[in-house]
Amino acid sequence: MSDRETDEQQLQFEKDKWLAEREFRDREITVKEVEQRRSRLTSPLVIALFTAALAGIGNIVLAYVNGKFQREAEQRKSEGALVLEMIKTSSPDKAAENLAFLADSGLLTQEEQVQRIRIFLKQRKPGQGPALPAPGNDRIAIESSDNLPATTLKSLADEILRYSRYLEGMGFPDLNHRVRLVPFSKEGPLPVEAGNDDAQAIKDGWLSFYKHGLLFVRMDVIDHPYFPLREYTHYALEQALGGVTRVNEVESGLADYLSLSFLELPDLAQATSYSYLPSLESDSSRLKRDMPYREDDPSYVQDAGHVWAAAFWHCQKDIGRPLMANILLRAWTNTFQERGDRELLDKFHVAVVNSAEAISKNGACFAIEFKGRGL
């Protein structure tokens, strides 16, 4: 073989070697590129980002679902509370009337609930059905009325609670029972709690009266605290006698005096906006002996009661309010446990005078006031 052929073979070998190495390097580069691309997808950073993104999407979906369920739950809770509010009347018939309005008004969004209410109303018999206690507190329940705003009811309940605790501080016992205040209108339908005598009192124009744990107050005067507080005093005096009711001029006078003393308003006209009512402080011309006695006449009992209340008020200035209440409560409980009327008034008179003179240097005030007013 010539040198020329040897050189050509050597050159061809080098060329083939170079091509093989190039192919190998190309293949190696391709493998590295694939590995790099794969490493980008499997790197901790990429995996962390992908996991975070997936978690974020999951949280968004979960928040949407939870929000939807929560809104539906709140809506059901709100509508349930509305239904309960509608039956806070202490009267099944009034509660049914409110539920009928609620079902027809479109305020309830759950059709199933609306249908259940309508089925219940269709099957309900008069006087039957659910009725929750009316608004108030642990001392007073106030029958709701479309004509009385919630703020008025709350303010009234708070004032009666404050008065109840005031009377307890003065020594009145057993005031922890819940009584009911029943608003009424002279022109409107009679309250379901009203009996025949109550209906007559409403017809005769009485602004308020008390009967067995019920405080009846006409709606146009219910924002004057004197009226509900006066009727609550009847309940307190009844409890002081162990639940025994005594209706007489002394009891009426105590109801006037105690409620007005609490309000610090001796002027009935000022306390009630009724100008014809007397002032306990300035009216000294009203004498009981000038009033013809009218047995079982509520007007006479109330008029004579004003005279007693005026005497109590004037002695309060000399004796002081706490001691005054103690004297009157003691005389009341010691005297009117017995039955009787006019003879018990004399006994009450004596009991007050003796008790006052025994515990106060100004106790003679009662004897002077009672005598001067013909009591």
Token representation of residue 186? 């002279």
pLDDT for 194 equals 72
What would the mean pLDDT of 121-143 be, rounded to a whole number?
68
More confident residue, 198 or 175: 175
Are the C-beta atoms of residues 266 and 260 closer than 8 Å to each other?
Answer: yes
Binned at pLDDT 50, 70 and 90, residue 230 comes out as: very high
Provide the strand spans (E) within the chain: 140-142, 179-184, 208-211, 214-218
With a pLDDT cut of 70, the percent of the chain lying above it is 72
More confident residue, 201 or 252: 252
Predicted local distance difference test score (pLDDT) of residue 237: 93
Contacts of 257 (CB under 8 A, 6+ apart): 280, 308, 309, 312, 313, 316, 328
Clarify whether residues 70 and 18 are in a common domain.
Answer: no
Rounded Cα–Cα distance for residues 302 and 298 (Å) = 6
- In angstroms, the CA 125 to CA 104 distance is 20
pLDDT at residue 121, as a whole number: 79
Six-digit token string for 146: 């479309």
247 and 107 inside one domain:
no
Same domain, 81 and 172: no
Domain membership flag for residue 62: yes
Mean pLDDT, range 260-272, rounded to an integer: 76
Does pLDDT of 270 surpass 70?
no
Rank 47-51, 87-91, 273-277, 287-291 by mean pLDDT and report only the highest.
47-51
**Total domains present in the chain:** 3
**Mean per-residue pLDDT for 282-295?**
54
281, with CB counted inside 10 A (0-12, 13-18, 19+), is middle
In a domain, 213, yes or no: yes
Residue scoring higher pLDDT (337 or 252): 252
- 71 and 144 inside one domain: no
Dist CA 190 CA 175 (whole Å): 28
The distance of Cα 78 from the centroid of its chain, to the nearest Å, equals 18
Q: Cβ-count burial of 19 within 10 angstroms (0-12 exposed, 13-18 middle, 19+ buried)?
A: exposed
pLDDT at 233: 94
Question: Which structural domain range is residue 315 located in?
Answer: 140-372
Q: Identify the pLDDT of residue 232.
A: 94
Q: Span 273-293, mean pLDDT?
A: 58
Say what the pLDDT of residue 359 is: 81
Q: What is the pLDDT of residues 7-56, one digit of tens each?
A: 666 677 667 677 767 776 777 777 666 666 665 556 666 566 767 777 77
Q: Which residue has the higher pLDDT, 290 or 68?
A: 68
pLDDT tens digits, one per residue of 138-183: 677 776 665 667 777 788 888 888 999 999 988 998 888 888 888 8
| 58 and 204 inside one domain | no
Structure tokens at 121: 């109303």
* The predicted structure's pLDDT at residue 1: 53
Residues 195 and 232 in one domain: yes
Domain end (from 67, 95, 123): 123
pLDDT at 236 over 90: yes
The residue written with tokens 């093989």 in the block is 20
116 and 152 housed in the same domain: no
Arithmetic mean of pLDDT, 102-108 = 75
Confidence band, pLDDT 50/70/90 cuts, at residue 341: low
Q: Are residues 246 and 357 in the same domain?
A: yes
Residue 297 pLDDT > 70 = no
Task: Work out the pLDDT band at 266, boundaries 50, 70, 90.
Answer: confident
Spatial distance between the Cα atoms of 354 and 359, rounded to a whole number of angstroms: 9
The DSSP-derived string for 290-328 is GSPP-TT-HHHHHHHHHHHHHHHHHHHHHH-HHHHHHHH
Which residues does residue 179 pair with via DSSP β-bridges, in sequence order? Answer: 140
Residue 67 falls inside a structural domain: yes
Give the pLDDT of residue 234. 93
| pLDDT value for 287 | 56
**Residues 293, 152 share a domain:** yes
Report the pLDDT value the prediction gives residue 36, as an integer from 0 to 100.
64
- Structural domain includes residue 135: no
Tell me what the pLDDT averaged over the chain comes to.
77
Q: Report pLDDT for 355.
A: 86
pLDDT of residue 290 exceeding 60, the answer is no
